[in-house]
Amino acid sequence: MRQVVCDDSGKVRSGWALMPLRLFLGVTFLYAGLQKLSNPDFFNSASATSIHAQMEGAIHTSPVHGLLSLLLPVASAVGLVIALGEVAVGVGALLGLFTRIAALGGVLLSLGLFLAISFNASPYFTGADIVFLFAWTPLLILGAADAPALDTWLAAAASKATSGRPGRASRAPAGMTVPRRGVLAGMVAGGAVVLSGATALIGRAANSTTTSATGATGASGASGSSGTPTTTSTTAPGTSTTLSGPAPKGTKLGPASEVPVNGSATFTVPGSGDPGLVIQTAADTFHAFDAVCPHAGCTVSYLPSSKVIICPCHGSEFSPDTGAVLTGPSPTGLARVQVIKGANGDLYAV
């Protein structure tokens, strides 16, 4: 065993040294892909945690915002490609089949997610995508590198089959490995498709059971009042101010009646042009926030079923009463917007 793990000089072979990284990346990408496929909300554009919501939120800050805008109408298809790509990359890495190609897929997926989602993560190392991008590069360069892998086994089998045939030893291994590898790759791909399909069906069945047991949650709380913008902080934590008499000075957002209790509406923050979010947490209690997540710049949404504000990109959760961080990785809470309800029933940002 030591001779397999170490070379003639006693040093650990590079492939064995990379095994922990290869297994970690393989498990992580396989899990990420299956998790997406098992979650119907990921493909439901009306959900605050969907791929559509993630892309829509990232458009405001991503350096590839033009491409995201172009792909937004087919966001569900993009999400499916990402999920299946992660499954394929994860299976390839775990089995060590076409290891370099799997690593290239991992690099491209990580690069795409970095540019689209976590480019503005601050500090930069809090965004996982850039870390995964560089973690794949050793496998891209070295492949399985004689560690336990189907690539290693196929190459050894082909070399053994051609040993002792003068003049063919340098060419035959590749010629014999490719067909075998292609057949094996087809079998593995078929198994991955079956696994992906079964995961999606189980996820939908589980979601359907949960929905029937708990009842429909209603709209996702994104009914937008098309009024004008604003900038940060509510009068007192937990309350808005209702004024009598003339309309207050400030930017009119729209009728308060358009914001349902335990629901939300969107607007544009004046000055900055950022997306804003106003929530009626209880009757006549309104809270408004700049909806740009401080972590990576994605647009947050209110989730009425959980009564939290959530970032669809990295899962940060915020209090709908104060905007404070409930769950990271966001380093700070949401900027608050002072809102006032006028006697005329309209909301104003002041």
116 half-sphere exposure, CB direction, 13 A CA radius: 27
Q: Is the dihedral of CA 49, 300, 90, 114 positive or negative?
A: positive
Closest CA to 61 of 287, 331, 300, 316: 300
Q: Is the dihedral of CA 348, 257, 55, 298 positive or negative?
A: positive
Per-residue confidence (pLDDT) for residue 91, from 0 to 100: 96
Residue 149 · residue 97 · CB < 8 Å = yes
249 to each of 245, 254, 271, 274, 289, how far by Cα in Å? 12, 14, 16, 21, 19
Q: In the CATH scheme, what is the homologous superfamily, with its name and number, of domain 241-349?
A: Rieske [2Fe-2S] iron-sulphur domain (2.102.10.10)
85 half-sphere exposure, CB direction, 13 A CA radius: 17
Residue 130 · residue 183 · CB < 8 Å = no
Q: Distance between CA atoms of 105 and 99, rounded to whole angstroms?
A: 10
Report the share of the chain in percent with pLDDT over 90.
Answer: 33
Residue 127 · residue 296 · CB < 8 Å = yes
What angle in degrees, to the nearest 10, is found between the helix axes of 99-113 and 128-142? 160
pLDDT band at 343 (very low <50, low <70, confident <90, very high): confident
Residue holding tokens 């290891």?
A: 99
For 257-281, how does the pLDDT look when each residue is reduced to its tens digit (9 = 90+)? 889 999 988 888 777 778 889 999 8
Domain ranges of the chain: 2-214, 241-349
Higher pLDDT, 84 or 156: 84
Q: Distance between CA atoms of 300 and 323, rounded to whole angstroms?
A: 11
pLDDT band at 142 (very low <50, low <70, confident <90, very high): very high
How many residues appear in the chain? 350
For 1-56, how does the pLDDT look when each residue is reduced to its tens digit (9 = 90+)? 555 677 666 677 888 999 999 999 999 999 999 999 998 888 988 777 789 888 88
- Calculate mean pLDDT across residues 239-254: 64
Q: Distance between CA atoms of 302 and 334, rounded to whole angstroms?
A: 12
Instruction: Please say if the pLDDT value at position 315 is more than 70.
Output: yes
